[in-house]
Structure 1
Amino acid sequence: MSGSAGYDRHITIFSDQGRLYQVGAYTAPVRRRSTITFHAGKYAFKAITAANITSVGVRGKDCAVVLTQKKVPVRPASAAIHARTSSLSPLRFSYVFKLSPSVGCVMTGSIADARASVMRAQGEAAEFRYKYGYEMPCDVLAKRIANISQVYTQRAYMRPLGVATTLVSLDSEFGPQLYKCDPAGYYVGYKATASGPKTQEALNFLEKKLKNRDCAEGDWKDVVELGISTLSQVLSVDFKKNELEIGIVGGPRADGQAGTDSEFRVLTEDEIDERLQAIADKD
């Protein structure tokens, strides 16, 4: 037991408020000389906001979309280092990933943890496909990711990954799917959701737009434009085509032919620019 706090501060033991220090955004009061000071630790959830990137997921009638800011780290001032980094591909800093042909995701938080989590999820999806002969459903994959994350909270030597995972898929039985998993092992389906430092502002905006609706109205273009408008509104930014990453299921075909594609794909910069122009024309 901690003499000053009056309870055990081990990171894998629940605090007096029912939270785990390792994963919960918790601030514990400690009395010292009749004053109360507050000590805050570095938690997995704080790593999500520390990346300073906000992501949004929106489910439509026939599609589901994930969007995030595209940020490439500032290049160093040194001429020698600049020469080595000038040819870096923005794909190295992408937060949108394809987990299986039918499931994609956007990761919010530490990029290193995001890549580790994505590799594990891709392996789980591939193993499921090999074992059962069909693609792993989005809800099953979300549950598996959440279960793995929860195990990380049980042992002090296992660090929870500081990322939130938002998955989308177009299910043949249930239609568009949107799930979000957090570092504590909690997952749930949404009509629309957000992650990052502007989560609450984005949720407030989306709640007004989707009030009394089961999903976003319109085709994939309208759903993408809603996602872009959400990020633009909460961040007070007029985005350019190279400042956004957008993943979609039920969107336009990659080969340019008519119809929609049930597989997950990332929109090109030209496709993003078309949606930005459409938003500008409406305004």
Structure 2
Amino acid sequence: MSAAGFDRHITIFSPEGRLYQVEYAFKAIKSTNLTSVALRGKTSSVIVSQKKVGDKLLDPETVTYIFPLSAKLGCVMNGSIADSRALVARARSEALESRHLHGYEMPCDALAKRIANINQVYTQRAYMRPLGVAMTIIGFDDEKGPLVYKVDPAGHYAGYLATSAGQKEQETANWLARKLKNKDHCDGDWKEVVETGIQCLSEVLSVDFRKNDLEIAYVAEDGIFKVLSSDEIEERLVAIAEQD
């Protein structure tokens, strides 16, 4: 069988043990040229993402890569926005069903595991294809504290002290690793953790952000997922500028 044959079939391993379609799904994550970061503080977990509106005729309010999954969980998606919305809809359905069955909100790690299992099944069926998205979920647990989980197209998931996804994933991961050296969380309250996330993207991408260039959300000790408004993002940018 030719190499092209391995490329075209999701269920066929190459002689090297690779599934090319899954690897292409990972490349699709970087296709939007956007980068996001997620960080865990002592009392909060935060996601910061670039925001780009490609068409001047689009309503910017309808363009987003940050989604609430339940009252206490939210995520940032990197990759195909169509695939992102489909996976978000499935995650919301799973979270709602779990709450209906058990009487409490689905834990962050349980939802990440469930979505990872669904993604893995997509790599087994010839009539499916992997979704070209990475989902980074944040939440707050009364016992474990702030949580950050990332799920990839292959069905792998894990908890992180801080993580990134998108075009500059490796560069931002290196920045975060230096920032969190010998630490298990970012310092400060949610505002300071947000500022750390903005500084990470700004330094790695060499960009001075304006309020409409970013999307930010967080979960603090009250356990409620909150998305920052443009004015609240502006406050954090001003705070960073004053530090400099």
**TM-score category (smaller protein):** over 0.9
Write the letter of the residue equivalent to 1:271: E
TM-score, normalised to structure 2, is: 0.96
CA shift at 1:268, angstroms? 1.1
Which of residues 224, 237, 244 is equivalent to 1:263? 224
Partners in 1 of 2:44 and 2:69 — Cα distance?
17
The answer for the alignment partner of 1:100 in structure 2 is 70
CA RMSD of aligned residues (A): 1.5
Partners in 2 of 1:156 and 1:279 — Cα distance?
50
Which of residues 23, 26, 49 is equivalent to 1:45? 26
- Residue 274 (1) aligns with residue 235 (2): yes
% identical aligned pairs = 62
CA shift at 1:89, angstroms? 2.9
In structure 2, relative to structure 1, the CA distance for the partners of 1:144 and 1:273 (3 Å cut) is same
Partners in 1 of 2:181 and 2:199 — Cα distance?
16
Q: Give the gaps of 5 or more residues in structure 2.
A: none
Stretches of 4+ aligned residues off by more than 4 angstroms: 5-9
Structure 1 stretch displaced more, 107-116 or 9-18: 9-18
Which of residues 212, 217, 225 is equivalent to 1:242? 212
Contact 1:7-1:16 at 8 Å conserved across structures:
no
CA shift at 1:155, angstroms? 1.4
TM-score, normalised to structure 1, is: 0.83
Contact 2:10-2:124 at 8 Å conserved across structures:
no
The answer for the alignment partner of 1:167 in structure 2 is 137
Partners in 2 of 1:229 and 1:276 — Cα distance?
9
CA shift at 1:74, angstroms? 2.2
The answer for the alignment partner of 1:54 in structure 2 is 35
Larger Rg: 1
Q: Which one has more relative contact order, counting CA pairs under 8 Å at least 6 apart? A: 2
- Residue 67 (1) aligns with residue 48 (2): yes
The answer for the alignment partner of 1:81 in structure 2 is none
Contact 1:12-1:21 at 8 Å conserved across structures:
no
Write the letter of the residue equivalent to 1:153: T
Q: Secondary structure at the match of 1:262?
A: coil
CA shift at 1:7, angstroms? 8.7
In structure 2, relative to structure 1, the CA distance for the partners of 1:192 and 1:125 (3 Å cut) is same
Write the letter of the residue equivalent to 1:194: S
* Number of equivalent positions: 243
Report which of the two has the higher share of helix.
2
